[in-house]
């Protein structure tokens, strides 16, 4: 089980980090859509940072949960039309 948890935690950390590089806000900051996108991105980045902290503290369960929540924020933002993503990506449910 620990090897599976480590592999899944690695995968979700990478997936969240990659998703952050691919999602671009559809509107500039200072507009309602731009501010909502900034909030989603901030949450995702915070969860990535938290997950990395948990992982370095030897807590892979909370690390995985953090990476998952962060990814969920971005994925929701994509579904709500707050972010543009490359048409070739398979990281998001559209």
* Domains of the chain, CATH where assigned: 2-84 (1.20.1270.90)
pTM value? Answer: 0.90
Q: Residue 83 burial by CB count (10 A; 0-12/13-18/19+): exposed, middle or buried?
A: buried
* Span 6-57, pLDDT tens digits: 999 999 999 999 999 999 999 998 999 999 999 999 999 999 999 999 999 9
In 3D space, the residue among 59, 77, 58, 57 whose CA is nearest the CA of residue 16 turns out to be 77
Residue 49: enclosing H or E segment and its boundaries?
helix 32-56
In 3D space, the residue among 52, 28, 48, 53 whose CA is nearest the CA of residue 38 turns out to be 28
Which pLDDT value is given to residue 90?
77
């Amino acid at each position: 089980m620990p090897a599976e948890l480590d592999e899944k935690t690695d995968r979700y950390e990478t997936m969240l980090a990659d998703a952050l590089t691919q999602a671009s806000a559809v509107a500039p900051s200072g507009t309602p859509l731009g501010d909502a996108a900034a909030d989603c991105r901030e949450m995702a980045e915070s969860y990535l940072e938290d997950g990395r902290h948990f992982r370095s503290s030897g807590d892979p369960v909370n690390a995985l949960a953090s990476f998952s929540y962060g990814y969920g924020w971005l994925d929701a933002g994509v579904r709500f039309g707050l972010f543009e993503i490359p048409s070739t990506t398979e990281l998001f449910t559209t």
